[in-house]
Structure 1
Amino acid sequence: MLKGLLRLAPVAALLLMLCSTAHAEDGRRVFTGTLGKMPIVLEMNLFQPDEVTGRYFYEKYHRDLELSGSLQEETLTLTEGNNRYGDDKPLPTLKLQETANGWQGEWKSPKGKILQMQLTEAKLPAPAADALPFIAALPKSDPYEYLRLQGLKLKPGKKESFMGYDLQWWTQPESTLSMFSIESGYPKADQQRVNQQLLERLWSEVISYHGCLLQGGQYAEFDQGVSPQFLSPDVVSLSIATSYSCGGAHPDFGDSPINLDVHTGHSLSLDDVLWVGKGKPLLHADRDSAGDTSLTEEESNARFTYQREVFVPWLIKQFTTLYPGEMQKPTDENDCDYTDESVWGYSNWHFTAKGLYLGPYFARVQRNCDDPGWSVLPYAVVKQHPGAVKLQLPQN
């Protein structure tokens, strides 16, 4: 089962295995301590003393509170929260003095309540031996988020069968975000690699959720739905649809599917599955944590040229033949124009039982045109143009 994958190293069991966090190269420093009697984790960027920024969370609640202020004459003065939406309300303040290994001072509410603060440079519990690689890398890349995730758990939800495979759903209660793991149907090693990718994506979305709430403040929203789309001996494909409002001028939404090669656990790029260019695909695959994914300038230009001059015109021609009604050029400029090559340039795609679904991407004012549902390229067509990875695809 997934007990090892799901468990984040408990702090209490690792008190003798602590390592100090190094100062981040960008100026961020992470501290742990207390505000009053409540344990907190606090991050500050002290790179510019006149524009100090930061955030902190109570270990009991895990939700960020924004900090901003300045360091003057050895006194760090910070404001908690902001009035970016024009409320102009009084806000709590922090006044801190640096100590040998951290900071100390007081937090003061707008009504005058004062609580003492004690902060020391954070020491991180070592990751569990069976921790997900994504979690194990956080102490160096993002110690603040690592400490947040230490206090979060996954709650088992419903079980279901999908395309002959048994799924177990998991929910992270504070964020309400969910993901499934696959409990049967694949060889053990393949199943473990796939589940690792799925659960790592869940934890990365939890981090995104908290980042959105910090940026959006009281008006922030972050809702997400995960839907399995296609499971086969070679492929695991799912849709992750997110609706969010994180402080920008308007809310937004989008789909960011996962398409995995079961035998390697690697993400599949569209070029791995479908290639209509000459010669071999330009890039074998878009890899997640599996080597160097960077492209040379020449490769990047070649890939852009292929997408714009070869793939998109070919795709529009295929869809015009398959779906002539939907692909008619509209008479009203406000209607969805699926003949516009620009909307297919960065398609979100996933596998379905009938073929590859390729979703267009419209500008914000026409986002209702996204995800039309009909834009499926049958496997009979896909098989005529195989990509870099050999896949057994259904007959249709």
Structure 2
Amino acid sequence: MFKGLFGLTGVVALACSTFSTVLWAGNGERVYTGTLGKMPIVLELNVNSGEGRYFYQKYRKDLVLSGTKEGETLVLVEGNQRYGEDTALPQIRLQDKPNGWSGEWTSPQGKVLKVELQQANLPPVSADTLPYLAALHENSPYEYLRLQGMTLKQGKTETFNGYSLQWWSEPQTKTTLFEVVSGYTAEERQRINQQLMGRLWLEVVGYYGCLAGGGVNFYHQTIKPLLMTPSVISVNIGTEYSCGGAYPDQNDVPLNLDAKTGKPLVLEDVLWVGEGKPLHYDELDGESDQSPDTFTAFSAYRSNEFAPWLVDQLSKLYPDQMTSDEDCAYSDVEPWRFLSWHFAENGIKLEPSFPHVAASCGYVEWSVLPYNLIKQHPGGVALQLP
């Protein structure tokens, strides 16, 4: 299984290879590699807006850039002014050159360092590359380059529901997840572990995205396996974070997998109460149809069909709990439209969604749809439910 990423030095050394491709991030964004002083950096620049970001390879943390043109010179201001502040910020002044930029970085104190950038080039990924990393290579080369040289550290082993798990962590970000090392066929384990390790690297990317928010930031992750059976897997990925917003926050995003195929499952794959073919919309799955039309149909289904049906079912199953707390208003459809869910031993556990000021309402223990009810309304994937 894939545990590390080849070093960035190797990437840059291959820049002139005949099989490498220039990195474009889409939407007018170009990706460059080079040096600031003696430090290797990766820089992403939107050629339309002049906005961008860069990181030192050693630290990987983003520094935001905002740009203007002064004649033939591109002037990039590094960092953001906090509200009410008027402090000097570092500047990068660049002149265009074939396939890149050349110029100087100047600190507010007058220190000057040379900057050399060239359009980044990247060789194709190998056949055994994790699907998530292959998608980053194609769609987010800046993030792909950020991960180069990072490796995972082997942790504890444990047994859960009769399956052996091997834990791994990324030391810099402290993000963690596990692989399944026994209990399924070798082919099933490979597909399952591709999803689990891909999700670990997604969390690493999320960590650095949080740091870019400015202010006093933190990003703490908790992983808990919830259920593993021959047909389905549920793992909770909980995150406490402060990413530059008004308040710290936390969320739980379960990862639900079809154990036979390794593919992520959305609720409509398991439970469908609408007409026609079940929808499949997953904003975290790059293979899912994420078009605006699909989201519109998904949103309409959740609002007009699923949530009213669910409130009706929960009101029959849990009449006291649905009406006992007026502040939380569980009998309203709104909290049940875009919820999180996972497989449990006795059914599908549903977690209602509330705004930050009422976040405590989202933590309920009783909101389970039993499997005998789920089986009356099968979703788009044939599953052997517990």
Task: State the TM-score, normalized to the length of structure 2.
Answer: 0.89
Alpha carbons of structure 1 residues 143 and 322: separation in structure 2 relative to 1, 3 Å: same
* Residue 41 in structure 1 maps to residue 42 in structure 2: yes
Cα distance, 1:260 vs. partner? Answer: 0.9
Cα distance, 1:226 vs. partner? Answer: 1.9
Structure 2 contact 136–144 (Cα < 8 Å) conserved: yes
Deviations 1:151-184 (A, max 9, x none): 2222222211111111111112222211111111
Task: Give the alignment of 1:1-396 within 5 angstroms.
Answer: 2=1, 5-11=2-8, 15-16=13-14, 19-48=20-49, 52-214=50-212, 216-277=213-274, 281-283=277-279, 288-290=285-287, 292=289, 294=291, 301=297, 304=299, 306-331=301-326, 335-394=327-386
318-327 or 35-44, which deviates more? 318-327
Alpha carbons of structure 1 residues 175 and 378: separation in structure 2 relative to 1, 3 Å: same
Structure 2 contact 256–264 (Cα < 8 Å) conserved: yes
Cα distance, 1:122 vs. partner? Answer: 1.3
Alpha carbons of structure 1 residues 122 and 348: separation in structure 2 relative to 1, 3 Å: same
Cα distance, 1:269 vs. partner? Answer: 2.2
27-36 or 318-327, which deviates more? 318-327
Question: What SS does the aligned partner of 1:209 have?
Answer: helix
Deviations 1:285-318 (A, max 9, x none): 7593446565857x954x5555344433332233
Cα distance, 1:233 vs. partner? Answer: 0.4
Deviations 1:197-222 (A, max 9, x none): 111122222222222211x2132332
179-188 or 249-258, which deviates more? 249-258
Cα distance, 1:35 vs. partner? Answer: 1.2
Whole-angstrom CA distance in 2 between matches of 1:300 and 1:92: 44
Structure 1 contact 124–147 (Cα < 8 Å) conserved: no
Instruction: Give the letter aligned to residue 157 of structure 1.
Output: G
Cα distance, 1:141 vs. partner? Answer: 1.3
Cα distance, 1:367 vs. partner? Answer: 1.1
Whole-angstrom CA distance in 1 between matches of 2:92 and 2:132: 34
Structure 2 contact 44–142 (Cα < 8 Å) conserved: yes
Whole-angstrom CA distance in 2 between matches of 1:310 and 1:97: 57
Structure 2 contact 6–149 (Cα < 8 Å) conserved: no
Deviations 1:303-358 (A, max 9, x none): 55553444333322332333333212535xxx221111111111211001222100
Whole-angstrom CA distance in 2 between matches of 1:62 and 1:265: 31
Cα distance, 1:22 vs. partner? Answer: 4.5
Structure 1 contact 275–385 (Cα < 8 Å) conserved: yes
Instruction: Give the letter aligned to residue 187 of structure 1.
Output: T
Question: What SS does the aligned partner of 2:307 have?
Answer: helix
Cα distance, 1:361 vs. partner? Answer: 0.7
Structure 2 contact 4–149 (Cα < 8 Å) conserved: no
Task: State the TM-score, normalized to the length of structure 1.
Answer: 0.87
Alpha carbons of structure 1 residues 82 and 311: separation in structure 2 relative to 1, 3 Å: closer
Whole-angstrom CA distance in 1 between matches of 2:300 and 2:26: 37
What percent of counterpart residues are identical?
49
Alpha carbons of structure 1 residues 347 and 179: separation in structure 2 relative to 1, 3 Å: same
Cα distance, 1:23 vs. partner? Answer: 4.1
Whole-angstrom CA distance in 2 between matches of 1:306 and 1:71: 48
Cα distance, 1:185 vs. partner? Answer: 0.6
In the alignment, structure 2 segments of 5+ residues that lack a partner are: none
Whole-angstrom CA distance in 2 between matches of 1:195 and 1:256: 18
In the alignment, structure 1 segments of 5+ residues that lack a partner are: none
Whole-angstrom CA distance in 2 between matches of 1:265 and 1:351: 15
Instruction: Give the letter aligned to residue 42 of structure 1.
Output: L
